[in-house]
Structure formats: structure tokens, C-alpha cells
Amino acid sequence: MKYEMVIGLEIHVELGTKSKIFCSCSTQFGNKPNTNVCPVCLGMPGVLPVLNEKVAEYAVKAGLSLNCEIAKFSKLDRKNYFYPDLPKAYQVSQYDLPLCIGGYLDVSVGEETTRVGITRIHIEEDAGKLVHTQDGTLIDYNRCGVPLIEIVTEPDIRSAEQAVEFAKSVRNILLYAKVSDCKMQEGSMRFDVNLSVREQGAKQFGTRTEMKNLSSFKMLQKAIEYEYARQVKAVKNGERIIQQTRRWDETNNVSVVLRSKENAHDYRYFPEPDLLPVVLNDEVINSIKTSMPEMPKEKKQRYISQLSLSEYDAGVLTANSQLCEFYENILKEFNDAKTAANWVIVELMALINKSDTSIEEIKITASSMAQLLNFIKDGKISGKMAKDVLLEMFETGSSEDEIVKSKGLSQISDAGELEKIIDEILKNNQASVNDYHLGKKQAMGFLVGQVMRATKGAANPQSVNEILNKKLNN
Ligand code: ADP
Ligand code: MG
Ligand code: ZN
């Protein structure tokens, strides 16, 4: 019997606003514990929260970028639970009337494209962070009240690869929309996986488990594979899957039970009495819409139609907002889009992949890379030399100019390239060639001069002499 996996994701993303959702405390990550706090985010009695307008704006941007409908009327609710990371003993979230509904994203794995429905996106506040030490548990409330959106998908995902592709795609889109830095290592983006299995072809869904707080794509992939195998094994043994919340144990690569699954009624949701509902009209929504930057899908189409890039190249570039930005910055100073795409995708990406860094971390600037490409275009250095220069730029962070000068590359000394130029000169100067063979050795000087002229003085004279000598005396 074959079993199919069914997955729905819940993705928490911290919004990149400067201040928290209901107070003016900073959202800065990494500050000294409990310094970004005030009576509001500490939930002192008698305080009144006020919604940060930017939170609504960023959440609307996220919704629009994921093809959601934006609700003109949404409200905030209290989700009650008692845990020390939550000083108020409730989290302000949205229950029955979320800000965004009914979106989708198309995800491609191999040849197959699947539409994954997005049920809703709501806004809520983050909780504090517990730090477990040998002497006990410490609490840092800096994160308390940092604005979050929660993106909930339909149970439309059918494999770990699809889940990871979906997650990557959401991250890329939110980076383009500039609503979050999506730094997974800082907890700005976290995934919960709801997973069930069913016999291939079955219509009914099986009972699901939920795995909380997966914080990287690798963890997401591994956790899904493990949980699928665990459930299939259980079902094959005739066991019943119990709906529960599980935790991924990163050290041992297993999922372990946290608690039996809570239901909505366990949280005693009720409308937040201290906050006004979020009311938006068409004008506001449209003005946010027009302020949105170009999204990867449109950008890809434009790269193909305007820049004549191949579908593949356009796809690779736009799949990574930072790579794309780098590429576009090159184009500000170098005007051959196809060549630039080729150098970024083939040469630069090879260096990045080999060294296991990412485009944000590299020492090469887009401007420097543009100049390097201009060097090739102007015949100052050969393509082959440029690859060596690029490698050195990548490793040392020196500029293209410094490297070309220090290596004495500002001349064409690449034999293959010079030979081509010299063959052309010889063909066009038959008279001088004949003179040379008739014993007029000064004809050689004339031919060298022609080569230097053709290369705008960039040819290495010694190499030119050698090659000319060889060719004339052959
Ligand atoms: P809750 O509010 O209890 O978390 P939801 O109905 O909101 O439950 O669903 C949460 C997530 O679980 C959604 O992403 C949804 O797609 C997913 N989901 C629901 N049923 C299943 C199932 N049988 N198998 C896998 N995922 C499911
Ligand atoms: Mg849920
Ligand atoms: Zn505060």
C-alpha cells in the first residue's frame, strides 16, 4: 500500500517595522535582554495598546504579494494561554476576521506545478523568549510585542520538496515586498508543519500532527520526511494517529510529543476590547498596491520580454531577491543584460556555491563587477583573464582595477586572442607581408604597429612580436 502525505503549513514572519505592534519599543534583534520593553509590552495592568499603523500596511503588502483578498474590516482577538513567555497570559491575534484571506502561490517541483491555497494571513504579537540555563530559566521580553504575520495554507502540499519550495518562494516574495528581513537564524521566519498520511487515492484526510517552530529549510525537509515515515509505519502497524503537537528534536533528528493538540476552544478566544478594529477602504488598499515594488513573477516576465533573457536565466535571477538586486545594479553601469546574466549565473554563482556563502555576504560589489565586464567589452582584458580577476575579487575583496594593474593584465597577453587579431592584420596587409619576405625587415615594425592600433594599445608587445615572428617565418 502506498501512502500519500498531506501537508498544510503555518508560517510566522516577523514584520520589519522599527517599533513593536502596540507600543513604541524598538524591534531591534540582539539587544541586551529586557531593554526593549515598556509597561505596554510587559502587560502591566491598566495600559492601553495602540496598533502600529505600519503593521497593518506591511501585512497588507504581504497579503497582496501572495494574491490574497484584503479584508476591509478585520479585528483583533485575545488568544488566552498561560506560559511565562507571555506576560499578559494572552496573545493578541486575529481569530474569525483576519486581515487577508484566500490567496495562493504556484509552486514548481521539477516539471510539475501545483497551486497551494493560502487560507489566511493574520497579524499578531510575538511572545518573549525563554533562555534555559543550568541554574534555571531566564526570560527575555525584548521579542514580546514584535509584530508577526501568520500565513496559513490549505492542506494542498504533497511532498517535502513542495513544502520547501513553497517556503522558499514565500520568503523570496516577502523579501521583494520588503516586509521582513526573513532571517531564519534570528527567528524572523519560522514554520509549523501540519502533516497527515492517507492511502494513495483516498478522498478523506487522515488525522494530522503539528510540528512547531522549524527554523530552516533543511529542518523543514528533514522533519517532514521523518514525520511521514513515522506515521506510515504507525498506520501499517494498525495504530491510530493521535492528533498532537510535536517538537522537532534537531540533535537527534526525531520528532517528539509536546502535548496533545489543543483546539480553538482551549484558547477561549474573545474580541480584544482595548483595540479598535482595522478598517480599510479601497483608496488605502490601492495606494498600498501602487507602492509595491515589482514582484518576482512580473520581473521574470520583464527580463524575458525586455532584456531578452532565457526563461531559465530569468528564473534563476528572480528566484533570489538579493541576487536580482545585485544583477540590476550591474546593469546600471554595464549595458549588456545577457552577458551580465551569464556572468552572474555561471561565474559568480559558481564561486558563491563553492565557498558556501550567499550573495549578501560576498566582497564583490555590483559596480566592481560591472567595470570588470566593461574591461572585457572594451578589449582591455580577455574573458579568460576576467575569470581569474573575478576569483581574486571574490577572495580578497580588491577592486577589478587594482587586480588588473597588479597582475599587469591591462594588456592583451592571451595568445589565443592575439593570434586571432594578428591573423586578421596579416590578411589585410598582404603587401607588408610580401615586403617582409622580400627582406624588408622593417615591415615587421609596421605590422606590430597595426596590431597595437587594433587593440588600442592593449596588446602585450612582446607576445605580438613572438606570434608575428612565428607566423611570418612559417
Ligand atoms: P488549527 O486552527 O487547529 O491549527 P486549522 O484548521 O487552522 O487548525 O489548520 C491548521 C493547518 O493544518 C492548516 O495549514 C491546514 O491546511 C492544515 N491541515 C488541516 N487538516 C489537515 C490534515 N488532515 N492533514 C494535514 N494538514 C492539515
Ligand atoms: Mg493553527
Ligand atoms: Zn513596549
Average pLDDT, the chain: 93
Q: What is the reported pLDDT for 1?
A: 81
Place of cell 540555563: 133
Q: How far is the CA of 209 from the centre of ligand 1 (A)?
A: 9
Maximum distance among all Cα pairs of the chain, rounded to whole angstroms: 106
Tens digit of pLDDT for each residue in 12-25?
Answer: 999 999 999 999 99
Q: In terms of domains, do 177 and 253 share one?
A: yes
Stretch 353-378: mean pLDDT: 90
Q: For residue 159, name the pLDDT band (cuts at 50, 70, 90).
A: very high
C-alpha distances out from residue 421 to 417, 425, 427, 429, 467, Å: 7, 6, 10, 12, 11
Strands 100-109 and 69-70: antiparallel
Distance CA 370, CA 389 (A): 13
Flag whether 468 is in a domain: yes
Is residue 32 helix, strand or coil?
coil
Q: For residue 114, name the pLDDT band (cuts at 50, 70, 90).
A: very high
| Nearest CA, atom 11, ligand 1 | 8
Q: DSSP of 392-439, one letter per residue?
A: HHHHH---HHHHHHHTT-SSB--HHHHHHHHHHHHHHTHHHHHHHHTT
**Which bound ligand lies closest to the C-alpha atom of 49?**
3
| Domain end point (choices 284, 317, 332) | 284
Whether residue 374 is found in the same domain as residue 432: no
How far is residue 459's CA from residue 465's CA, in Å, rounded to a whole number? 10
pLDDT for 413 = 65
pLDDT digits (tens, 9 = 90+) for 55-76: 999 999 999 999 999 999 999 9
Q: Do 70 and 139 have their domain in common?
A: yes
* Contacting residues for 444 by C-beta, under 8 A, at least 6 apart: 436, 468, 469, 472
Task: Say if residue 122 is in the same domain as residue 241.
Answer: yes
Going by alpha carbons, the residue nearest to atom 2 of ligand 1 is 264
Task: Retrieve residue 464's grid coordinates.
Answer: 605580438
- The verdict on 348 and 240 lying in the same domain is no
229 has pLDDT over 70 = yes
- Report the pLDDT value the prediction gives residue 259, as an integer from 0 to 100: 78
Instruction: Note the pLDDT of residue 417.
Output: 80
What's phi and psi for 57, nearest 5 deg? -60, -45
| The predicted structure's pLDDT at residue 100 | 98
Atom of ligand 1 nearest to the CA of 196: 24
- Can you tell me the distance from the alpha carbon of 337 to that of 346, in angstroms, rounded to the nearest whole number? 14
Query: What is the spatial order of strands in the sheet that 90-93 belongs to?
Result: 90-93, 77-80, 270-271
Nearest bound ligand to the CA of residue 147 = 3
Residues 422 and 335 placed together within one structural domain of the fold: no
- DSSP 8-state assignment for residue 343: I
Please identify, by atom number, the ligand 1 atom nearest to the C-alpha of residue 261.
3
Distance from Cα 192 to the centre of ligand 2, integer Å: 8
* Closest C-alpha among 47, 48, 55 to residue 74: 55
Q: Is residue 270 part of a domain?
A: yes
Backbone angles phi, psi at 396, to 5 degrees: -105, -20
Report if residue 466 sits inside a domain. Answer: yes
- Answer with the one of 378, 406, 434 that is the final residue of a domain: 406
Mutate to test the pocket of ligand 1, among 194, 197, 212 (most ligand atoms within 8 A of CB): 194
- Higher-confidence position of 191 and 359: 191
Ligand 2 centroid from CA 262, angstroms: 9
Closest ligand 1 atom, residue 154 Cα: 16
- Residue 42, pLDDT above cutoff 90: yes
48 and 121 both lie in a single domain? yes
Question: Whose CA is closest to 47, among 23, 82, 25, 79?
Answer: 23
pLDDT, tens only, 169-202: 999 999 999 999 999 999 999 999 999 999 999 9
Q: 305 and 443: one domain?
A: no
In a domain, 277, yes or no: yes
Q: Please identify, among 284, 314, 345, the residue that sits at the C-terminal boundary of a domain.
A: 284
Q: CB–CB of 245/209 below 8 Å? A: yes
Query: Cα of 143 to ligand 1 centre, how many Å?
Result: 26
pLDDT tens for 258-291 read 877 677 678 999 999 999 999 999 999 999 999 9
Looking at the fold, whether 226 and 320 belong to one and the same domain comes out as no
Residue 224 has pLDDT above 70, yes or no: yes
Please say whether the beta carbons of 211 and 253 come within 8 A.
no
**Ligand 1 center to 120 CA (angstroms):** 12
Q: Is residue 109 part of a domain?
A: yes
Instruction: Encode pLDDT of 121-147 as tens digits.
Output: 999 999 999 999 999 999 999 999 999
Helices (H), 332-398: 337-342, 349-355, 366-377, 383-396
Answer whether residue 62 is part of any domain.
Answer: yes
Residue 92 forms part of a structural domain: yes
> What pLDDT sits at residue 457?
67
Mean pLDDT confidence for 361-379: 90
Of 47-51, 395-399, 406-410, which range is least confident?
406-410
Main-chain dihedrals φ then ψ at residue 207, nearest 5 degrees: -75, 140
The C-alpha atoms of residue 98 and residue 119 are separated, in whole angstroms, by 10
Domain of residue 452 covers 415-473
Q: Are residues 154 and 272 in the same domain?
A: yes
pLDDT at 405 over 70: yes
Ligand approaching nearest to the C-alpha of 119: 1
Least confident stretch, 116-120, 366-370, 457-461, 470-474: 457-461
CB 210, CB 192: distance < 8 Å: yes
CA of 403 to the centre of ligand 3 (A): 51
Q: What's the pLDDT at 240?
A: 92
Q: How far is CA 127 from the centre of its chain?
A: 25
Q: What pLDDT is recorded for position 324? A: 94
Q: How far is the CA of 129 from the centre of ligand 3 (A)?
A: 15
Give the ligand 1 atom nearest the CA of 195: 25
Query: Which pTM was predicted?
Result: 0.83
Pocket of ligand 1, candidates 152, 162, 191, 214: which has the most ligand atoms within 8 Å of its Cβ, to mutate? 152
Tens of pLDDT, residue by residue over 283-326, are 999 999 999 999 999 999 999 999 999 999 999 999 999 999 99
Centre of ligand 2 from the C-alpha of residue 120, in Å: 11
CB 6 within 8 A of CB 44: no
Backbone angles phi, psi at 152, to 5 degrees: -115, 125
Residue 72 · residue 35 · CB < 8 Å:
no
What's 460's domain CATH number?
A: 1.10.10.410
pLDDT band at residue 411 under the 50/70/90 scheme: low
Mean pLDDT score, 425-442: 90
* Single-letter amino acid code for the residue at 217: F
Same domain, residue pair 196 and 107:
yes
Same domain, 247 and 112: yes
Nearest one of 142, 131, 150 to 213, comparing CA atoms: 150
* Residues with a CB atom less than 6 Å from ligand 1: 6-10, 152-155, 194-196, 205-206, 208, 264
pLDDT score for 9 = 98
Q: Whose CA is nearest to atom 7 of ligand 1?
A: 152
Closest of 278, 277, 219, 275 to residue 249, by C-alpha: 219
Domain count, the chain: 3
By C-alpha distance, which of 155, 156, 154, 182 is closest to 169?
182
Atom of ligand 1 nearest to the CA of 262: 3
Q: Is residue 289 part of a domain?
A: no
